[in-house]
Homo-oligomer: A and B are copies of this chain.
């Protein structure tokens, strides 16, 4: 009996919805559980909070341990505390969402014994616990936030074409965008740095590459600047 308290306490966990972007789909990284409950089921990467780490640190640690991912965009989503969300005992989890460059972390996902894999968000398996609810909420948050804040760049390679950028928005928002209007607006924002480089190894005219200009962005935000795309 290593630890004792006056009052019964819920266990605290963290979970992460990790999004990645394919040429065709928005994907989520899932872990196959090798322990009960829900052994064999796919679930969000996550685990229990330790006393010597903040909630944010716990989420990053679990991400590293279970998927090998580090230094990614990660933000708190919401806390889920239904009574029966874990059949073993009372567990309250702080859900997060993360955005990663799929190209940089190609096969990465599989560190400890469990299997890990990317699934398209519109073709998901049945998930363990209440993870489908968490995932739905994370997706809604991403769709809402991507239009106001330049977080979408976290899903793209550092250098990207305007077509890639447009595809990213189309995939996340699940609707087509007009090419000319999109380019006009995107360039007018003044947060894209035009590079002296073009795509390589494509069987057609190579597109010019751009980079997200974070410095300009920060400067513009300071001057009260409304993003919106």
> Could you list which residues of chain A lie within 8 angstroms of chain B, going by C-beta atoms?
1-12, 48-49, 51-56, 76, 78-83, 90, 92, 94
Contacts and interface: CB of A to CB of B under 8 A. Distances in A.
B6 A9 contact: no
Given A54-B81, A55-B92, A49 B4 contact: no
A6 B10 contact: no
A4 B4 contact: yes
Report how many copies the assembly holds: 2
A67 to B, nearest CB: 22
Contacts of A12: 9-10, 12, 92
A11 B12 CA distance: 9
A1 B4 contact: yes
A90 B7 contact: no
A94 to B, nearest CB: 5
B94 A82 contact: no
B83 A55 contact: no
Contacts of A4: 1-5
A53 B1 CA distance: 26
Given A12-B9, A12-B12, A49-B92, A55 B76 contact: no
Contact of A48 (B7, B55, B79, B81): B7
Contact of A10 (B2, B51, B78, B80): B51
A4 B3 CA distance: 5
Given A5-B9, A12-B92, 12 more contacts: A2-B4, A3-B4, A3-B8, A4-B4, A7-B11, A8-B51, A9-B11, A9-B12, A54-B83, A78-B78, A79-B94, A81-B94
Contact of A55 (B5, B7, B11, B81): B81
A221 to B, nearest CB: 14
